[in-house]
Amino acid sequence: MSSTGSSRADATDDFLRARRRQAVSRLGRWVGRGPGDVDLILPFDEVVAALGRLDERDLGQQVIDLDTVVGTVDRPRGFDRAFRPTSVQVRSRWERIAGALRRGDALPPIEVYRVGEVHFVRDGHHRVSVARALGHRDINAHVVEVRTRVGAQRTLHLAELPRKSHERLLRERVPLPPDAWSRIALHDSDDFGELAEAVEAWGFRVMQDRGEFMDREMTARAWFEEEYVPVCDLVREAGLIGARESETEAYLRLSCARYRLLHTHEWTEEALGRLRDTRRRPGR
In CATH, which of 3.40.1280.10, 3.40.50.1980, 3.90.1530.10, 3.40.50.300 is domain 7-154? 3.90.1530.10
Phi-psi region of 264 (alpha: psi -120 to 50; beta: other; left: phi over 0): beta
What's the CA gap between 239 and 257, in Å, rounded? Answer: 15
Closest Cα partner for 144 from 161, 119, 126, 166? 119
pLDDT(199) > 90 = yes
Q: What is the pLDDT of residues 68-82, one digit of tens each?
A: 999 999 876 789 999
**Averaged confidence pLDDT in the chain:** 87
pLDDT(35) > 60 = no
pLDDT of residue 10: 74
More confident call, 264 vs 207: 207
Break the chain into its structural domains and give their ranges.
7-154, 174-280
For the residues 198-221, what does the mean pLDDT come to?
A: 95
pLDDT(53) > 80 = yes
Q: Are strands 42-43 and 53-65 parallel, antiparallel or unpaired?
A: unpaired
Cα 63 to its chain centre, rounded Å, is: 22
What's the CA gap between 44 and 73, in Å, rounded? Answer: 5
More confident call, 32 vs 40: 40
pLDDT band with cut points at 50, 70 and 90 for residue 260: low
More confident call, 34 vs 254: 254
pLDDT of residue 283: 40
pLDDT band with cut points at 50, 70 and 90 for residue 245: very high
pLDDT(38) > 90 = no
Percent of residues, the chain, with pLDDT higher than 90: 64
pLDDT of residue 284: 37
| Of the listed ranges 26-35, 81-90, 129-138, the one predicted with least confidence | 26-35
pLDDT(34) > 60 = no
- Give DSSP secondary structure letters for 60-88: EEEEEEGGGEEEESS-S-SB-TT--B--G
pLDDT of residue 255: 86
pLDDT of residue 280: 44
Q: What is the pLDDT of residues 116-154, one digit of tens each?
A: 999 999 999 999 999 999 999 999 999 999 999 999 999
pLDDT(282) > 50 = no
pLDDT of residue 166: 95
For the residues 176-195, what does the mean pLDDT come to?
A: 93
Q: What is the pLDDT of residues 56-70, one digit of tens each?
A: 999 999 999 999 999
